[in-house]
Structure 1
């Protein structure tokens, strides 16, 4: 559908997926460009973020956030330009990051969950990744829950993704030994050669459990959990006394329609947590750490500028390609933070 300057393209949730999402779960429509009312501003969305949590929002199962209604606009964060403003503190031309933008060309905002950006920011899409919610998640989860100490062993899955790559690089800056887990030899090589991980293992290999045991001869002090599934199964026997496990996601299970086969692992996990005195804590970044966002930016921005934290993006062109982008993300097809360019 070609874009019209006086129309607003939107991608809606057409139906709830059963298992993995398919293209038919989405629909692309056109509506008039909205007009801001008192206390509102009109945003032109330039870049939008695709993230694993979106799969949960497509379901009507009870969760930490309300499900997207069938026929509703898919949610996302976006980097946007202010087009019109009836809101104090915002002027046309301002560049902002808005976490309530949605999969559409234009959106209205009352300023909630909106952050001003440097209008001359060289790579605005980074505000959705390393300098946005994913980077913030990795940074706070590692430092507050993980509490890394020099010489400790940190393991992180999805090691080249936007969360895992920040976790590993910050852990190295804190003097830790870092073992990444990723899908494929190219991703593993990037984690070691570019991101500075000590080791990176391919979770697609049947030897993952043995490979991880060999890579962690002194056990695991911190496991940053954002995947679950067989990766966690391989990690469990290697956890040291007083290990810490920040939990921010379980992407391996998001498309599941039933519990995995095999014995009930919960008693073994509970016994392990008790006997090893392990701290396992889940968190939702803005629920738990929202007020800390400015201090995160103050630290991460110079790290990125100085090359101490490196960034890789998986860029998709065009709003209309966002559904396939999310489907691919949930299948592990991306290499780096997934962002969609909606407009220049």
Structure 2
């Protein structure tokens, strides 16, 4: 006799490696008994799954900052969940935690590998797996530690309406920078102007990006916060000022293949004594409490705007990944796995 579905753990496993876009055919959905925690472990019911662009890279055979996702195993997933059974005194049933719970409903992990979340009244729980988590830390530390901006300098941000880019734009403005955001479509550009207060916005889908950059940045660009790559990145590098800095957060345009970088533009880094530096947010986890504390205050007072789009159910995961890569999502893309209330 089959066990009832509410006593089983629904899991999405990577069945094959995509060579282009991710499809339903690349996954196998299985059901297994709900796991029991061992000594020092907790069982978590996952509530939200974060869908970052880098999730596509984890599916490749080549190693990134994560080991390659093994075929046949539960797909790696960044989650926020609720503790429902604990065998460690540091976490109790009802506590919210962030972790790598995977693309499944239930997960078990050592308590030391989970980060306790203490939601502030009035701030949505989902914000703690988005703006008040790795996206916020990526935006703040990437800009301040790698970009090293000075008040009055010009900052250009690609994917400026995205989960990280929109925060970079607003943080840059708070630091006294002239901020230019590049985004796709009138709706996203309008949100940046009207809600985030970013005066200078370029719509790459309908405007001549090179001409608009020349008009808005006549003396060149001091800091580029790069999320996309491709031809626009070449334009930005070519317009760097002397000692300019490129903060290389990601190259999402290349993740599905087909887009390459024009290495000729890199000679500008030599000619302008400029610097381009990639970074991993894991290098700045020691600043987590400090930075999230700053961002939480801004969020609670309405001084930092953000967007979260939530699709319901693990079966919407492939659609969510597609929305991220086609720029259809608004801000952070989450998948809701289960209800927030404790059982």
1:85: which partner in 2? 86
Aligned positions, number:
335
Query: How many Å separate the matches in 2 of 1:14 and 1:62?
Result: 18
Query: How many Å separate the matches in 2 of 1:47 and 1:272?
Result: 42
Query: How many Å separate the matches in 2 of 1:295 and 1:301?
Result: 10
Superposition deviation, residue 111 in structure 1: 2.5
> Does structure 1 residue 284 correspond to structure 2 residue 285?
no
Change (3 A) 1:300 1:319: same
2:313: which partner in 1? 318
Query: How many Å separate the matches in 2 of 1:137 and 1:113?
Result: 20
2:270: which partner in 1? 274
Query: How many Å separate the matches in 2 of 1:4 and 1:161?
Result: 36
Query: How many Å separate the matches in 2 of 1:28 and 1:120?
Result: 35
Superposition deviation, residue 267 in structure 1: 4.3
2:76 counterpart SS class: coil
Alignment of 1:1-344 (within 5 A): 4-98=5-99, 100-118=100-118, 121=121, 122-205=123-206, 207-256=208-257, 260=260, 265-269=262-266, 271-286=267-282, 288-344=283-339
Superposition deviation, residue 4 in structure 1: 2.3
Deviations 1:127-161 (A, max 9, x none): 11110111110110001111121111111011111
2:131 counterpart SS class: coil
Name stretches of at least 5 consecutive residues in structure 2 with no aligned partner: none
Q: Is the 8 A contact 1:94 1:119 kept in 2?
A: no
Deviations 1:6-40 (A, max 9, x none): 11111111110011112211222211110111111
Q: Is the 8 A contact 2:237 2:269 kept in 1?
A: no
Change (3 A) 1:206 1:303: closer
After TM superposition, the score normalised by the length of structure 1 is 0.93
Query: How many Å separate the matches in 2 of 1:85 and 1:210?
Result: 59
Q: Is the 8 A contact 2:224 2:247 kept in 1?
A: yes
Q: Is the 8 A contact 2:79 2:129 kept in 1?
A: yes
Query: How many Å separate the matches in 1 of 2:280 and 2:237?
Result: 23
Name stretches of at least 5 consecutive residues in structure 1 with no aligned partner: none
